[in-house]
Chain A
Amino acid sequence: MPQPGTRLDTTRGGAPESPSESGDRLLLERARLCLRLIAAGVAAVFVGWIATHPGEQPLISLVQGANFLAVLTALRFMRNATDPMRSHIVGFAAYAFTIVATGAVGILADDATTPLLIMVGMSVVSGTMLGWSPWWQLASVVIIIATAIWTVASVVTSPPHFWLQNVGSVAPTLIATVFMAHMLRRQREAIERAERDRLVREEGLREANRRLEKEIHEHQRTEGRLRFAMRELDHRVKNTLATVQAVADQTLNSSTDMGEFADAFTGRLQAMARIHGALAQRRWEGLTLTDLVELVVGPYRHHAESVLIACDGTFVGSELVRVLGMALHELATNAAKYGALSTAGGHVSITSRVDDGSAPCLHIAWDEHGGPAVCAPTRRGFGMHLIEEALVYEADGRVTLRFPGQGLHCEIEIPVPPPS
């Protein structure tokens, strides 16, 4: 089919010819030349024969002439191989006409065998068009050859005017038949090739479709994960805002003036921000205890010895990090305001160990030395409240605060959850 917008050459569709197509073309050209030569020769003999035998068999001559014209016309139309339907129709019409004409010639010439044989041959050959088995095609070739031999034999044994008629009848019909059979076979092969190509293309399309579906599925999964992550983030933000509001409320409740509130609130907010940042960096999995203590208490270090951290690499999950971090922050600010970190000579040591008993437990000890003499506070602010209650509440922990003269001592025990 010519494609719109494509410049065509005069042959076919602009596509390069395959070897079998150029073979077809050669055969077509040869068949046509052969037919023309025979047609010209026989026509010349006819004209001479009709001129010398005017009243003998004029009807036969007329039928032969019409037969010639029919076959030539058919070949002319069949040249256009890009329109298989028209070729079929024209070919069948030519067949039908040739069969009728040959039969008529046989009856007029009192010879029934020649047309009969030709008709059998042609019907067998035409069978190739219906997609019959290769055995039928072989049979048709055998019968065509037999017809040719019989024709030659009859030509040799018949009177001159009669064999001229036979050649006139048989030769073009034979050539047309062979040519037609060849064309039809080619067309059938082309159809089969197109069918195979179509199947290959269909399989390619199906494969592409499968790939596309897979990609879409992947995309949907990514989108789902992203939506989940966004929801998770929103959830976290809402909870964080709730915590910030609660911290602000409670800081305000335990502050005596705005200056005190501002200092305490800013310190708590900054501790929360540092913890949040560190957790986010570690994809919310958690921190080692050493990292957490350094993160929260480290900023209160005056000099190298003022904060001593001797914690192991115990890993603390993100939920516990949040509340333990807040408690450590309160201990640190308390030390900076009233305890060991409020003087240049004081220092804090933070040590930890894990008890691997029947109920595994994380012990953290906070010891202050060298600061001003301490005594138990008379008023418990929000900070102290948070130190004593938050870990008990959220982590089933135990917190013991003691105030010996040399500095505050805080003992934290947190049950380690069995590995899930």
Chain B
Amino acid sequence: MTAPSLRGVYVLIVEDNFVVADALRFMLTGFDAIVSAIVPSLAHASAALAVDRVDVAILDINLNGTSVVPLAEDLRARGIPFVFVSGYGDEDLLPEHLRDRPRFDKPVEAERLVARLIEIALRP
């Protein structure tokens, strides 16, 4: 059995806490992913989407008090898959039609997250 790999997958990380975002980047890089960017806000995310390739996105639901939902809608419209990461209670910020998207509680378990990213990003 081969080790799980995200080889060739471009990941955008939207997370307001630098240390958390940086650790996530390090972890994903360890699984061969290419991290397009780590961004702390909706504006930075839009700028990154405009110039970088993004195959899958990891979205912190609550960005320092701002909901990530507008970005999620944008990604949905572009057909880019994404998963949510949340602290307790953040899922209330999500509208009904986004609640069936994959969601991971903080602190995130790396193996589960990677397995899910492989599943949705490398789906034939």
Q: Which residues of A contact B (CB under 8 A)?
A: 231, 234-239, 241-247, 249-250, 253, 319, 323, 326, 385-386, 389-390, 393-394
Contacts and interface: CB of A to CB of B under 8 A. Distances in A.
B21 interface: yes
B26 A235 contact: no
Contact of A246 (B16, B20, B87, B89): B20
B23 A250 contact: yes
Given A235-B87, A238-B105, A238-B107, A253 B26 contact: yes
Nearest to B88: A234
B64 to A, nearest CB: 6
Given A241-B106, A246-B24, A394-B40, A234 B18 contact: no
Given A250-B23, A386-B19, A242 B106 contact: yes
Nearest to A235: B87
Interface residues of B, number: 23
A231 B19 CA distance: 23
30 contacts: A231-B88, A231-B89, A234-B87, A234-B89, A235-B62, A235-B89, A236-B87, A238-B88, A238-B107, A239-B20, A239-B87, A239-B106, A241-B107, A243-B17, A243-B19, A245-B23, A246-B19, A246-B20, A246-B23, A246-B107, A247-B19, A247-B23, A249-B26, A385-B22, A386-B18, A386-B19, A389-B18, A394-B16, A394-B17, A394-B18
B110 to A, nearest CB: 9
A389 B25 CA distance: 14
Given A234-B87, A242-B87, A393-B40, 4 more contacts: A231-B88, A235-B62, A246-B17, A393-B38
A231 B105 CA distance: 14
B122 interface: no
Of the listed residues B18, B24, B90, B106, the one surrounded by the most CB atoms of chain A closer than 10 A to its CB is B18
B90 A250 contact: no
A242 B106 CA distance: 6
Of the listed residues A239, A246, A389, the one surrounded by the most CB atoms of chain B closer than 10 A to its CB is A246
Nearest to B109: A245
A326 to B, nearest CB: 7
A249 to B, nearest CB: 5
Contacts of B23: 245-247, 249-250
A386 B20 CA distance: 11
B45 to A, nearest CB: 13
Nearest to B30: A253
B107 A245 contact: yes
Of the listed residues A237, A238, A386, the one surrounded by the most CB atoms of chain B closer than 10 A to its CB is A238
B28 to A, nearest CB: 12
Contacts of B26: 249-250, 253
Of all A-B residue pairs in the complex, the 6 with the closest CB atoms, nearest first, are: A246-B23, A242-B106, A238-B87, A242-B107, A234-B88, A245-B107
B49 interface: no
Contacts of B20: 239, 242-243, 246
B19 A250 contact: yes
A246 B90 CA distance: 20
Contacts of A323: 18
A396 to B, nearest CB: 9
B80 interface: no
Of the listed residues B16, B23, B26, B38, the one surrounded by the most CB atoms of chain A closer than 10 A to its CB is B23
B21 A393 contact: yes
A393 B107 contact: no
A249 B19 CA distance: 10
A158 B110 CA distance: 126
